[in-house]
């Protein structure tokens, strides 16, 4: 497979997700390499010809910005920065997210406004291509001066420090370098700051979670269609006219998806004794559609970010300028990730309500979807489990972006908390998958009891695939393994 060349062209989330999921190698394109080299040359010439203070390049960092550093110590300054900022805490993050971080860091540096050496970018690419992923921790970033602590852990292996994942195990960088006869990179002026400043922790989580969310909302619609069939629901709320007059894009798209999923259903055509369905069924287009709109908004914000330069200072060789500003501030991502968490939570919230209806003994379905209720508890407790997870999500979706704290002696006096929004959204979306898996577990059981042959061809096909993984439950049995398999099915 030909390598994916990081160039000056803009990329989409789907494009980069394809690179990661396919295991495609990376390379830097000629246009980007030329810009990187030109920027580094400009910076070296500026430092050689002038002793004027330039933030983070020949000065200290944060509130130490007025402390100037001599030319003989500029490389040490950058190495010290990486070592001192590697203060990550908590659990290690998903290796898939680390891949996103590495790819996005290479992408951001390759625009030629960061002043890094070409060899530094190439080492990041080598690590990625070898499957040697830095060990990075979930806690420690304020999401403001970039994702300092997580990106310091990403940068540690470049200088021969820290740990790298190899075949699922963390190993010392020094050991892995020795086995490959690699030398550590000697960071030059500005490079440590270029590596640590940036929003790649937040944006990596955002891209990963956006792709997860796109997959999960498609699953949510399929599962909801099965639940509707099993609950003997009505088709009218999904009609084109009634959803078009609401004029919400997500709602119209979900209604169209539901019509397609339910096309050819004998159950939908059957005469109904009930005039209308509960909100959790009738308002699927409105609720799922609002979440779809949030996902599309978040994707727009992220695609701007992954095609951006977010370290500081920013170097413009063509303008003969080095500008210290705030492109590393994560506010756009913090707000977007908080919205993504809230939007996805609602998929789980309404899903749990459909589960509650399916087990309630209404519309000719047995209580708790099992023969001999009383002797059997059936699907009573999966609903409890779903309700517990939804309750936890309600606590998690309090926005991280509403918080801030002074740091660096007040020099950095407003922070985004976007990293906390990112890791929190990760937990929320993982919980959403669990709740949808429980709904699918219930919906498939209820549809078997209602009669699978009455359902639409698409719902029948989805049910058939699911039944290859999770069986019909005749009498009470150990439910946990079935729920775990149901979660796996959704992955």
Catalytic residue set: 55
In DSSP terms, 4 is beta-bridged to: 26
Give the C-alpha separation, 122 to 33, whole Å.
Answer: 10
**Residue 270 to residues 229, 234, 235, 265, 275: CA-CA distances in angstroms?**
11, 9, 10, 9, 13
264, 457 in Cβ contact below 8 A? yes
Query: Phi and psi (nearest 5°) for 401?
Result: -70, -10
Residue 110: CB atoms within 10 A of its CB come to 25
Strands 89-92 and 137-139: antiparallel
* Sequence-ordered list of residues with C-beta below 8 angstroms from that of 489, at least 6 positions apart, any chain: 437, 440, 465, 466, 469, 470
479, 382 in Cβ contact below 8 A? yes
Give the C-alpha separation, 406 to 196, whole Å.
Answer: 19
Token duo for residue 168: 């699922």
Give the C-alpha separation, 207 to 276, whole Å.
Answer: 39
Please report, to the nearest 10 degrees, the dihedral formed by the alpha carbons of residues 224, 225, 231, 233 taken in order: 120
Strands 4-6 and 26-28: parallel
């Amino acid at each position: 497979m030909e390598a994916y060349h990081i160039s000056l062209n803009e990329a989409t989330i789907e494009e980069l997700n394809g690179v990661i999921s396919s295991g495609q190698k990376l390379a830097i394109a000629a246009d980007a390499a030329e810009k990187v080299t030109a920027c580094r040359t400009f910076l070296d010439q500026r430092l050689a010809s002038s002793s004027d203070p330039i933030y983070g390049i020949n000065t200290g960092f944060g509130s130490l910005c007025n402390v100037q550093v001599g030319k003989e110590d500029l490389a040490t300054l950058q190495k010290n920065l990486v070592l001192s900022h590697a203060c990550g805490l908590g659990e290690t993050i998903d290796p898939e997210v680390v891949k996103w971080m590495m790819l996005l860091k290479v992408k951001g540096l390759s625009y030629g406004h960061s002043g890094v050496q070409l060899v530094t970018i190439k080492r990041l690419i080598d690590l990625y291509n070898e499957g040697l992923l830095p060990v990075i921790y979930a806690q420690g970033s304020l999401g403001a001066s970039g994702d300092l602590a997580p990106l310091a852990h990403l940068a540690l292996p470049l200088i021969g420090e820290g740990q790298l994942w190899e075949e699922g195990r963390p190993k010392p960088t020094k050991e892995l370098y020795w086995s490959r006869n690699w030398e550590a990179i000697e960071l030059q002026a500005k490079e440590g700051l270029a590596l640590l400043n940036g929003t790649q922790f937040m944006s990596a989580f955002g891209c990963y979670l956006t792709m997860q969310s796109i997959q999960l909302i498609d699953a949510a619609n399929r599962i909801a269609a099965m639940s509707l069939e099993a609950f003997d629901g009505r088709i009218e709320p999904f009609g084109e006219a009634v959803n078009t007059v609401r004029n919400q894009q997500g709602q119209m798209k979900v209604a169209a998806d539901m019509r397609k999923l339910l096309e050819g259903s004998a159950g939908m055509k059957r005469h109904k004794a009930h005039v209308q369905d509960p909100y959790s069924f009738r308002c699927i287009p409105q609720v799922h559609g609002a979440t779809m709109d949030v996902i599309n908004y978040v994707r727009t914000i992220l695609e701007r970010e992954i095609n951006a330069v977010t370290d500081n200072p920013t170097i413009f060789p063509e303008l003969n300028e080095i500008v210290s500003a705030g492109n590393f501030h994560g506010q756009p991502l913090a707000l977007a990730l908080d919205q993504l968490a809230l939007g996805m939570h609602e998929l789980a919230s309404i899903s749990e309500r459909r589960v509650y209806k399916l087990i309630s003994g209404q519309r000719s379905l047995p209580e708790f979807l099992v023969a001999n209720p009383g002797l059997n508890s059936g699907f009573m407790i999966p609903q409890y489990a779903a309700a517990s997870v939804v309750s936890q999500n309600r606590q998690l979706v309090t926005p991280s972006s509403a918080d801030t704290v002074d740091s660096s002696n007040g020099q950095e006096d407003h922070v985004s908390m976007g990293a906390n929004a990112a890791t929190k959204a990760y937990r929320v979306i993982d919980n959403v998958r669990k709740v949808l898996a429980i709904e699918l577990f219930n919906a498939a059981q209820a549809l078997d009891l209602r009669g699978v042959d009455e359902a639409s061809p698409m719902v029948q096909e989805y049910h058939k695939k699911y039944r290859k993984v999770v069986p019909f439950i005749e009498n009470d049995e150990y439910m946990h393994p079935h729920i775990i398999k149901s979660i796996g099915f959704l992955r």
